Amino acid sequence: MATLRFVLGDQLSRNLSSLRDLAEGDVVLMCEVADETRYVRHHKRKIAFLFAAMRHFAEDLRARDVTVDYVALDDAANTGCFTGELERAVARHRPDGVVVTEPGEWRVRQMMEDWREELDVSVDIRPDDRFLCSHERFRAFAHGLKQLRMEFFYREMRKETGYLMEGDEPAGGRWNFDHSNREPLAADVAPPERPTYGVDETTREVLDLVAARFGNHFGGLDDFDYPVTRRQALHSLAWFVETALPDFGTYQDAMREGEPLLFHSHVSALINCGLIDPREACERAEAAWRDGSAPINAVEGFIRQIIGWREFVRGVYWREMPDYAASNKLLARRKLPDFFWTGETDLNCLGACFREVRDSAYNHHIQRLMVIGNFCLLCGFDPKEVQEWYLVVYHDAYEWVEMPNVVGMILYADGGLFASKPYAASANYIDKMSDYCGSCRYSPKLKTGEGACPFNLLYWDFVARNAERLQGNPRMARTYATLGRMDAKKVATIRREAEGFLDGLVSTGEY
């Protein structure tokens, strides 16, 4: 009784639920399809990373005597879509049934449900138990709650997994060491030299394919050196735990121009595509704390990102879809300016981040939230456009993780479903946590007038124009009290200058 097992590009795990009972005679189907590269114009580097990882995963399966039916993008008969390739594979192999692991994205889940109606064989859709929290478990956590808070969810996950627990109490006497993880990076602190991974023949073929097929997509492919195999991914994780993790916690919010990675793990893309299991990442980090080679604040911060935020936003996504994508409680309508794609802006913090993401398909979480995201919030950019930009440019972005972070955390577009207040900040935060301002034409110290940092103008303009929607928020009370005490002429000047800046943003629609 042969079974066709369909593995998607973000399911590159040997312990995948659809592969767990793999039997002799079964066939694993993998395919590179045009639809998945172009429903948004994904970063070239993201496409190359996933195709290279897929092809190496297929080679790994074949080395274990698994029959793999692999459809490359340039296969002349490739239909360009999941459904078409599954129908062709069913016709080729005539299996007794199809087994898949549930996808990460809502639109693909709808496809899978359609397969049950359209195909002449059974389709078994299995849970993705690589995640630590099932859909049912998250719904139980969220039941009856009008507001969801990651911190409470995270504590439950700590108790259930046992990570950093000493009996019933959190290790170190605290659930959260975030207060110890907010130091700026001193000039004499040098990030460690990171490992690089060579380009073999398989990856070179992918890079050439992507360069030829996706020349009009965002980003570049130069100096591609990211892990694309399970062995490389594990090496990257081991390097981080041994070398960078000890300082990760202290400096995880810091930013330095020209140093995009600092002490960050850079393994989110490897976890999200399946080359690293989230449990093994947590276990290796916890082991480093228990053997004394990494401090509690670093290990707790890393584990919180995985079993806290990663699991939490996935739960929010599946609980709130499909309507969540259209959330826009702050009624933001402004178009995203062209410089998000070109990087041509005289705001040095934004320009630095845009250059880094163009070259590497990566920014770390503070750059995403407090520089780029903060700017999007303050300017009032349309949530749909911001969602698409984040989905396009990052190599670890999938809709399930990108959408809640943009809609809920960055833009407060869901009205505070899980963020207790908008993450709005003036230039002071960026100046404190980075060296961007030192080489910028704008001054973070000036509030108005020539040379004033737009973040200062935009911050108070955002507060003023959203007063009706936000001043009832207890966490915004002090901000609105300050606004109320400000001289009316000063507020008028700020808003006039902010409006002038916003009106000067160019959005041609060409990108």
Q: What is the pLDDT of residues 115-150, one digit of tens each?
A: 999 999 999 999 999 999 999 999 999 999 999 999
Angle 372-376-377 (CA atoms, 0-180°, nearest 5)? 120
Average pLDDT across the chain, whole number = 97
Q: Which DSSP letter does residue 177 get?
A: -
- What average pLDDT does the segment 191-208 reach? 97
Confidence at 1, pLDDT banded by 50, 70, 90: low
- pLDDT tens, residue by residue, 453-463: 999 999 999 99
User: How do the domains of the chain map onto residue ranges?
Assistant: 3-126, 135-197+229-320, 339-503
pLDDT at position 509 is 86
- pLDDT tens, residue by residue, 453-493: 999 999 999 999 999 999 999 999 999 999 999 999 999 99
Domain spanning 3-126: which superfamily?
Answer: HUPs (3.40.50.620)
**Sign of the torsion angle spanned by Cα atoms 11, 14, 15, 17:** positive
Report the distance separating Cα 506 and Cα 314, nearest Å.
34
Report the distance separating Cα 157 and Cα 195, nearest Å.
32
Q: Name the residue type at position 507.
A: S
H helix runs in 176-310, sequence order: 201-213, 230-239, 245-251, 268-273, 278-290, 296-303
Segment holding 308, helix H or strand E: none
Segment holding 43, helix H or strand E: none
Q: What counts of helices (H) and strands (E) characterise the chain?
A: 24, 7
Give the largest CA-CA distance in the chain: 79
Same CATH fold assignment for domains 3-126 and 339-503: no
Segment holding 122, helix H or strand E: strand 122-126
- What average pLDDT does the segment 216-242 reach? 97
DSSP string of 430-472? HHHH-SGGGG-SSBTT--SSTTB-HHHHHHHHHHHHTHHHHTT
Q: Are 413 and 420 contacting, i.e. CB atoms less than 8 angstroms apart?
A: no
Domain spanning 339-503: which superfamily?
Answer: DNA Cyclobutane Dipyrimidine Photolyase, subunit A, domain 3 (1.10.579.10)
The hierarchical CATH code for the domain 135-197+229-320 is: 1.25.40.80
Segment holding 494, helix H or strand E: helix 488-503
Answering whether pTM is above 0.95, one says yes
Report the distance separating Cα 152 and Cα 488, nearest Å.
41
- pLDDT tens, residue by residue, 98-123: 999 999 999 999 999 999 999 999 99
- pLDDT tens, residue by residue, 47-88: 999 999 999 999 999 999 999 999 999 999 999 999 999 999
Name the nearest CA neighbour of 248 among 299, 193, 287: 299
User: At residue 193, does pLDDT exceed 90?
Assistant: yes
Q: Which value, in Å, is the radius of gyration of the alpha carbons in the chain?
A: 24
User: At residue 330, does pLDDT exceed 80?
Assistant: yes
**Sign of the torsion angle spanned by Cα atoms 332, 335, 105, 271:** negative
- pLDDT tens, residue by residue, 334-388: 999 999 999 999 999 999 999 999 999 999 999 999 999 999 999 999 999 999 9
- pLDDT tens, residue by residue, 147-185: 999 999 999 999 999 999 999 999 999 999 988 889 999
- What average pLDDT does the segment 330-336 reach? 97
Q: Which DSSP letter does residue 305 get?
A: I
